[in-house]
Amino acid sequence: MQTFTIKPYAMPDSAPALREKVRALVAEHEHRFEPARRANCWVTPDPEFSCALGQAGLLGMGWSKEYGGHEMSALERYVVLEELLAAAAPVGAHWIADRQTAPLLLRYGTEEQRRRWVPGIAAGEVYACIGLSEPGAGSDLASVRSNARRDGDRWVLNGQKVWTTGAHISHIMIGLFRSEAGSERQAGLSQFLIPLDTPGVTVKPIIDLTGSHDFNEVWFDDVRLPADALVGTEGEGWKQATAELSLERSGPERYLTSQILLTEFVRRLEGGADAGQLRLVGRLVSELSALRQMSMAVAARLAGGEDPALEAVMVKDLGNSFEQAIPQAIAQAIELDLSADDALELLVAYSMQVAPSFSLRGGTREIVRGIVARGLGLR
């Protein structure tokens, strides 16, 4: 039976300076941040802020300077992400491109793909989305029906992706398509790099309960791509996509989405708190600390070239449960007027509407618990 493995790691000496650098940048732009949406900051886009991060050298931190990166460590990048999320900064424009797309291209992409797209991502000017989930299949990636077929020296794509975060502001998508006719489940899948202005691509909005537009449907109708749109090895898309998911599932965004709620709750209690409120703060901070240790342990192993997929989904499942529980716990601990314009009331009211979606991102709870069960030898 596999268990959660935590190997020793040390925070970089540069951490204090990096934290101050991020805090100064946030303070410069904070007047523009939308108050309520700060409770869901890593899907909230602000291209101006993303460009400012790129100019400050805070994107593409671990990549080679040859591609616009800064050759810093994974833990230095982790420090920056923590600060951005704790400050509830709107980082949604560049988040997926910086977290997944560029690392995928640097590992599996062609030299032309790297040179064309990665420097723009490091500058905070090129944004990306992920094309995985499909209607009727949800997060069961092995049920992908969207297909890619060869036509001479071209690929022709048809199908539909759904729940695609940020497609409406993205320049490119990394999409998973069935490239071998008649194949089933994990076999015969390939990844493609798709510029979203290609003829035949249609992006349609999915508006959530709050009226926000984060998710999309993306349609592919005879989309013709050059042969070099293939990313990595034909037929190896499943392996590539699942390795990429460890990056998505284990980061600090899995437990810090609602951090600003806890910050504002503590600020509200500064005038006096009862024993129950203090117990709640203590419990939430303790859980937060444990999740941080787990997430950083996964980050250290990913940086070492390992793929701790089981540990990554554990972080995602526990982290999602933690951040989904915070709004309700605070609402039960203190009297709130959710129609008021105060920061805590705005954040709680907004979070209660969007928190159910947190466990959909990066794989539903049913999918990730199935992975945990297999890892523990229970199925």
pLDDT at residue 379, rounded to an integer: 76
CA–CA separation, 151 and 179 (whole Å): 12
Identified catalytic residue from 83, 248, 264, 323:
248
> What's the predicted TM-score (pTM) here?
0.89
Task: Delineate the domains of the chain, giving CATH numbers in brackets.
Answer: 14-126 (1.10.540.10), 130-236 (2.40.110.10), 249-376 (1.20.140.10)
pLDDT at residue 247, rounded to an integer: 66
The full 3-state SS of the chain, as one line of letters, equals CCCCCCCCCCCCCCHHHHHHHHHHHHHHHHHHCCCHHHHHHHHCCCHHHHHHHHHCCCCCCCCCHHHCCCCCCHHHHHHHHHHHHHCCCCCCCCHHHHHHHHHHHHHHCCHHHHHHHHHHHHCCCCCEEEECCECCCECCHHHCCCEEEEECCEEEEEEEECCCCCHHHCCEEEEEEECCCCCCCCCCEEEEEEECCCCCEEEEEEECCCCCEEEEEEEEEEEEEEHHHEECCCCEHHHHHHHHHHHHHHCHHHCCCCHHHHHHHHHHHHHCCCHHHHHHHHHHHHHHHHHHHHHHHHHHHHHCCCCCHHHHHHHHHHHHHHHHHHHHHHHHHCCCCCCCCCHHHHHHHHHHHHHHHHHHCCCCHHHHHHHHHHHCCCC
pLDDT at residue 1, rounded to an integer: 61
Residue matched to tokens 């037929």:
235
- Cα 47 versus chain centre, distance: 17
Q: What does the buried/exposed string (b/e) look like for 55-87 if buried means 16 or more CB atoms within 10 Å of the residue's CB? A: eeebbbbbbeeebbbbebebbbbbbbbbbbbbb
Which mean pLDDT values do the consecutive 10-residue runs of the chain (379 residues) have? 70 94 97 88 94 98 96 92 95 95 95 97 97 79 89 96 94 96 89 98 93 94 97 93 73 87 94 94 96 88 79 89 93 88 91 84 80 82
pLDDT at residue 367, rounded to an integer: 81
Active-site residue 248, yes or no?
yes
